[in-house]
DNA sequence: TCTGGGGTCCTGTTCCGC
DNA sequence: TCTGGCGGAACAGGACCC
């Protein structure tokens, strides 16, 4: 039996990085958010959370909730740098770990003499070397570890078996577990299932009828805290994109194409820098009524060239021809191949063999 | 007072070739 | 020759995550 697994989560990460750069703000409600009229909060310090401010909240609302909040524009380069430093510390302690996003990781604790003591030392080292606080959850699989790290943050340190997790969170809303978001919560609510205990006891056939043969049983497994303990230690990106929300909705096709060109240029620059290429080019358009449309086209050869990307993107946009004001456009390239294979797959595909 | 940006994964549909 | 089944690839949308 594999395991145990630890989940490490950096507390209020973006805000913590800002506070370490500007110690005079310590103790104040700090919000990291963009500046436009449609900006949202990316991270709030724990002082700001006392005012009811949370992630994904419109910045305008956050300001109303706390007039004295210090608002700081996000600086992703700085966050990436601190993230790298933290991951280096983790790598010095733990052989196998899987980074997720910028501020968390799963750690394979198998074979460690005293996993808890090892995690205490790791958290101490991370703080000493980067000034970042982390919460730790330890469990038999990723799901238990993740929920455990969330349970008592900031500075949390929670160790649970699956059985203990089932008991401790029996009365918690189904959305406590990762994988059950707002939409699934709502649909479960329509079946009078709101807590994890209710989901665990739910009729599997009814769930299958409602959610399908795969997702139905998967929901019960989530409620039982059954999950894989496997880590994916060598994750490679499969797509990259750029998108922007306008301060005001846009009606003109010319203006949309101008924006699309800027985004495609930035995307091509990034792809060239990382040496990544893909065959599928997609656009994304969000209308003023929040409907989101994507269109994609796969071309015969791998590309990261601006000229190719923008030509396909504009063709897709013209074919779609939005009939309502547009609040967001985006462009992306997908279908990356693992780097060692990319040489072979450059041949035109989709042609009948000779 | 509406709701960012950058991703991943899954599902259902359609199309095409065998 | 016609038809149906099947599987894979592409595509669109949706849910979710940080």
Sign of the C-alpha dihedral computed for residues A305, A293, A212 and A201 taken in this order? positive
Higher pLDDT, A211 or A342: A211
Nucleotides on strand B with an atom closer than 7 A to protein CB? 1-12, 18
Q: Can you give the pLDDT at residue A2?
A: 60
Residue A352 lies in a domain: no
Instruction: Among A177, A192, A223, identify where a domain stops.
Output: A223
Q: Give the rounded percent of residues in chain A with a pLDDT score beyond 90.
A: 71
Nearest to A277 by CA among A349, A350, A342: A342
| CATH of residue A243 | 3.30.1490.100
Statement to judge: residues A185 and A216 lie in one domain: yes
- Whether residue A1 has pLDDT greater than 70: no
Band (pLDDT 50/70/90 cuts) for residue A63 is very high
A104 is a catalytic site residue = yes
- Whether residue A344 has pLDDT greater than 60: no
Q: Is the CB of A240 under 7 A from strand B?
A: yes
Residue A102 lies in a domain: no
Burial of A23 (0-12, 13-18, 19+ CB in 10 A): exposed
- Whether residue A351 has pLDDT greater than 50: no
- Whether residue A145 has pLDDT greater than 70: yes
What are the distances in angstroms from CA A332 to CA A141, A242, A271, A301, A336? Answer: 34, 6, 10, 16, 11
Statement to judge: residues A193 and A251 lie in one domain: no
DSSP codes of every residue in A288-333 = TT--EEEEEEEEEEEE--HHHHHHHHHHHHHHH--SS-EEEEEEEE
Q: How far apart are CA A277 and CA A346, in angstroms?
A: 10
- Whether residue A348 has pLDDT greater than 50: no
Statement to judge: residues A287 and A332 lie in one domain: yes
User: How long is the CA A350 to C1' B16 vector, in angstroms?
Assistant: 11
Q: Provide the domain limits for residue A43.
A: 13-74
Q: Is the CB of A40 under 7 A from strand B?
A: yes
DSSP codes of every residue in A230-269 = ----S----EEEEEEEEEEEE--HHHHHHHHHHHHHHHHH
- Whether residue A340 has pLDDT greater than 60: no
Token pair recorded at residue A335: 């279908």
Higher pLDDT, A236 or A143: A143
Q: Is the CB of A237 under 7 A from strand B?
A: yes
Nearest to A297 by CA among A316, A269, A319, A276: A316
Statement to judge: residues A182 and A214 lie in one domain: yes
Q: Is the CB of A129 under 7 A from strand C?
A: no
**Annotated active-site residue in A18, A47, A104, A259:** A104
Q: Write down which residues 149-178 in A have CB closer than 7 A to strand B.
A: none
Compute the average pLDDT of residues A113-120. 96
- Whether residue A188 has pLDDT greater than 60: yes
DSSP secondary structure code for residue A217 in this structure: H
Instruction: Among A55, A74, A93, identify where a domain stops.
Output: A74
User: How long is the CA A353 to C1' C16 vector, in angstroms?
Assistant: 40
Nucleotides on strand C with an atom closer than 7 A to protein CB? 9-18
Instruction: Tell me the backbone φ, ψ of residue A236, rounded to 5 degrees.
Output: -120, 140
Tell me how many domains chain A contains. Answer: 3
Compute the average pLDDT of residues A237-257. 91
Q: Can you give the pLDDT at residue A339?
A: 58
| CATH of residue A30 | 3.40.1170.60
What are the distances in angstroms from CA A84 to CA A70, A79, A226, A274? Answer: 26, 9, 31, 17
Q: Closest CA to B9 C1' — which residue?
A: A179
Statement to judge: residues A272 and A309 lie in one domain: yes
User: How long is the CA A213 to C1' C4 vector, in angstroms?
Assistant: 26
Give the mean pLDDT of chain A.
Answer: 89
Q: Can you give the pLDDT at residue A155?
A: 93
Q: Can you give the pLDDT at residue A101?
A: 86
Q: Name the nucleotide nearest A180; use CA and C1'.
A: C16
| CATH of residue A182 | 1.10.150.20
Q: Give the rounded percent of residues in chain A with a pLDDT score beyond 70.
A: 95
- Whether residue A124 has pLDDT greater than 80: yes
Residue in the block written with tokens 């096709």: A253
Q: Can you give the pLDDT at residue A345?
A: 41
Q: Can you give the pLDDT at residue A232?
A: 85
Burial of A196 (0-12, 13-18, 19+ CB in 10 A): buried
pTM of the model: 0.90
Band (pLDDT 50/70/90 cuts) for residue A183 is confident
């Amino acid at each position: 039996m594999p395991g145990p697994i630890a989940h490490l989560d950096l507390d209020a990460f973006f805000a913590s990085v800002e506070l370490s750069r500007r110690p005079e703000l310590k103790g104040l409600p700090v919000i990291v958010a963009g500046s436009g009229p449609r900006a949202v909060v990316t991270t709030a310090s724990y002082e700001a959370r006392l005012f009811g401010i949370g992630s994904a909240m419109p910045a305008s609302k956050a300001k109303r909730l706390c007039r004295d909040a210090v608002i700081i524009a996000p600086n992703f380069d700085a966050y990436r740098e601190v993230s790298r430093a933290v991951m280096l510390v983790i790598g010095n302690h733990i052989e196998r770990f899987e980074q997720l996003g910028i501020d968390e990781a799963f750690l394979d604790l198998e074979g460690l003499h005293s996993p808890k003591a090892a995690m205490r030392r790791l958290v101490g080292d991370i703080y000493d070397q980067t000034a970042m606080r982390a919460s730790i959850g330890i469990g038999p699989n990723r799901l238990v570890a993740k929920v455990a790290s969330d349970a008592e943050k900031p500075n949390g340190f929670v160790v649970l078996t699956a059985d203990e997790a089932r008991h401790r969170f029996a009365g918690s809303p189904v959305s406590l577990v990762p994988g059950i978001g707002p939409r699934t919560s709502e649909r479960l609510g329509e079946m009078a299932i709101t807590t994890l205990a209710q989901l665990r006891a739910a009729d599997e056939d009814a769930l299958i009828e409602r959610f399908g043969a795969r997702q139905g049983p998967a929901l019960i497994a989530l409620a039982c805290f059954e999950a894989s303990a496997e880590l994916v230690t060598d994750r490679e990106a499969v797509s990259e994109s750029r998108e922007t929300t306008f301060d005001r909705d846009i009606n003109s096709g010319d203006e949309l194409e101008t924006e699309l060109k800027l985004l495609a240029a930035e995307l091509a620059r990034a792809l060239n820098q990382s040496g990544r290429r893909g065959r599928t080019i997609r656009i994304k358009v969000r209308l003023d009524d929040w409907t989101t449309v994507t269109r994609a086209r796969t071309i015969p050869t791998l590309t990261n060239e601006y000229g190719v990307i923008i030509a396909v993107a504009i063709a897709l946009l013209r074919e779609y021809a939005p009939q309502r004001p547009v609040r967001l456009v985006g462009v992306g390239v997908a279908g990356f191949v693992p780097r060692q294979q990319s040489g072979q797959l450059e041949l035109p595909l989709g042609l009948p063999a000779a």
